[in-house]
Amino acid sequence: MGSCPYCAATTLDGDTICYSCGRVLANSSIMEHRIHLQKDRHSNVSAYRMTSAPKRRGMVQNDRGRTKNILKGRKNRFRSLIMLGLVAFIMLSPQAREMTIGKIGDVKEFIMNPTLGYLVYDIEADYTLNRIITLENQDLDTTEYYNETFPISQDIYALEGTGPIYTYTDGTPDTPNQKIQDVLATEIRIDGQSINVPLERSAIRSYAEAITTPSGHKIWWPGTSGSGNMFCTGGPCVKVTAFLGPGQSMSYEYLVTISTKSYTWWSDVNEGV
């Protein structure tokens, strides 16, 4: 008994084809003759026959009796050459070697140095949030208006409230609360104008004092002391009323520039931090 080198199905002596996958088996006298003819006609060719004992899928036997897996793909020599060239460049190029060894040395020294203690560092990022509003009046007979309310972003501290982060009992000054989100500017760009919105809560502009653009759009930032659509609900805001004639469309932008910080640290368990 033997096995098919393609599907690993069991075969009997004298079988010329595999009754499982239908492929021709190289164990008959006819196939033996074909192998010798192939090797006589072509030099350096590989001719295989079925193994005498059942083997795993893909295992065949050459004319010298050695087994080989014909289904196993060849190694990608080109990829190996590329990797070898990359490693050789890193190891032989003075600049690349110096940079690589320097980076590894810095990281190793940083990790292995037990005297560093805890480390606090802040990561800062400044970015601008841009919201674009596009309006279109599909009514071809009448003028329509559209109201939009934008909340004014507030500063955010590491600890809610105004108290210090840490209070000490040994006379050490308290650690003040740290601002992790600082709103730098709030701006509305509409009708070719750039309108800066004040960040102070005390700066209030009512609807009667609204800024009117050349096209008649109104922008104001009321307080929260009143009720209705003319006032803010839940916190400071900016309100925009846009007027569009029949079939008109427009776009305007609401921008908020923010500076943020994040703090990360590690410490010894005995330091209590």
Separation between Cα atoms, residue 92 and residue 129, nearest integer Å: 47
Separation between Cα atoms, residue 197 and residue 187, nearest integer Å: 6
**Torsion sign over Cα 203, 199, 219, 224:** negative
% of residues, the chain, pLDDT over 70: 70
pLDDT at 178: 80
* Amino acid type, 91: M
Residue 240 has pLDDT above 70, yes or no: yes
> Do the Cβ atoms of 50 and 11 come closer than 8 Å?
yes
Contacts of 28 (CB under 8 A, 6+ apart): 14, 15, 16
Confidence of residue 153 (pLDDT cuts 50, 70, 90): confident
Q: Which two tokens stand for residue 240?
A: 């925009």
3-state SS record for 23-64: CECCCCHHHHHHHHHHHHHCCCCCCEECCCCCCCCCEEEECC
The pTM is what?
A: 0.48
pLDDT at 148: 93
Tally of CB atoms within 10 A around 228: 8
